[in-house]
Amino acid sequence: MSIPFGHHQLHNRYCFEGELELVTPLRISSGRASDETDAPFMRLYDGTLYVPGSSLRGAVRSEIERILASLGHAVTGLRSCTLFEKGGGGDCAEKIREFRDSLKNEEKRKEEDKDKSDDQLIAEYVKKNLCDVCLLFGSASYASRLVFEDGVFVNGRGVENHTRIRDGVGIDRDTGAAKDGAKFDYEVIEPGEKGVCVKFRMVAENIGVNGMDKKLINLILAVLKEGLFLGGKRSGGMGKVKLRPKDGNYFNVTGFESPQTLWKALVDGRQLDNPIEWKEGL
């Protein structure tokens, strides 16, 4: 399926829904101390515990980039940049910043580019030069086509029974012993015997089903099935989550696969998101 570059048209939307099960205790701190602990777990305005979509998104992107970097384009067929790398042209954002700077030099502009605006030239450059990961996850110059929604716990308020306060202490790197005055504590959610799950919802738009987008999404789903770490204290084994199978399926997919399908649903007053068959495999 050939999907035009950019966000000005809406061609398809795929919504992946499932449950992420805690394999090990999870710590995602709000950054503000409370009366009970130095680092309480993230909560909504009404006190409901949740996992920020940004935390899951960052962990997923980092893992995908590590896998692709270790194998290379020749093996995977997917291009990935080195995020935040300064110099050497490894970072898509850095390359685009350098291109923006070059547009300030009128003498270097080609004759055929003289009548084009900076925005037009940047859009053309982004289309040709952004790696596959940045084209899906987004970059400083191109909005994401992949959304990870905040996840509330399936147990609802019952998850409060799984919260625990743990003690931590800073270690003196010279002596290897606990550093005086460096004690702290933090809140975690324990998996428990019956398991604790977070609702998972990932939305992808304008996906070329037979191209690199589909390959990347399937890689994301494969990583989530196997499990990955997010949140704090990962070096201590905390924060491992993975997709939980339910009725034989790890996730359900809904949405629409063409503008015509979307329009017909709008005209008929029907639900926009309907079950879609999604074929996995890399």
Structural domain includes residue 108: no
The answer to whether residue 270 scores a pLDDT higher than 90 is no
Average pLDDT over residues 233-258: 92
For the chain, list the strands marked E by DSSP: 13-22, 50-51, 146-148, 151-152, 163-171, 178-189, 197-205, 228-229, 240-243, 251-256, 274-275
Residue 72, CA distances (Å) to 214, 220, 228, 279 in order:
18, 17, 21, 24
Q: What tens digit of pLDDT does each residue of 201-236 get?
A: 999 999 986 689 999 999 999 999 999 999 988 888
Residue 278, CA distances (Å) to 101, 107, 177, 217 in order:
42, 50, 53, 11
Structural domain includes residue 101: no
State the CB neighbour count (10 A cutoff) for residue 14: 23
Burial profile 187-201: b = 16 or more Cβ within 10 angstroms, e = fewer: bbbbbeeeebbbbbe
Task: Tell me which of 85 and 258 has the higher pLDDT.
Answer: 258
Q: What tens digit of pLDDT does each residue of 53-102 get?
A: 999 999 999 999 999 999 988 889 898 987 655 555 568 888 888 888 88
Q: Exposed, middle or buried: residue 254 (CB in 10 Å: 0-12, 13-18, 19+)?
A: middle
User: Considering the entire predicted model, what is its pTM?
Assistant: 0.87
Note the pLDDT of residue 247.
86
Distance CA 175, CA 95 (A): 44
Note the pLDDT of residue 209.
67
Distance CA 230, CA 25 (A): 11
Residue 213, CA distances (Å) to 110, 130, 134, 216, 220 in order:
32, 13, 11, 5, 11
Token reading at 42:
């993230």
pLDDT-derived band at 172 (thresholds 50, 70, 90) equals low
Structural domain includes residue 178: yes
The boundaries of the domain holding residue 182 are: 13-80+131-270
CA Rg, the chain, in Å? Answer: 22
Rounded to an integer, what is the distance from CA 6 to the centroid of its chain?
19
Structural domain includes residue 21: yes
Structural domain includes residue 23: yes
Structural domain includes residue 93: no
Structural domain includes residue 125: no
Cβ neighbours for 65, distance < 8 A, ≥ 6 positions apart? 80, 82, 83, 133
Note the pLDDT of residue 83.
60
Residue with tokens 């019956």: 194
Structural domain includes residue 89: no
Q: Using DSSP, how many helices (H) and how many strands (E) does the chain show?
A: 7, 11
Across the chain, mean pLDDT equals 85
- The count of structural domains within the chain is 1
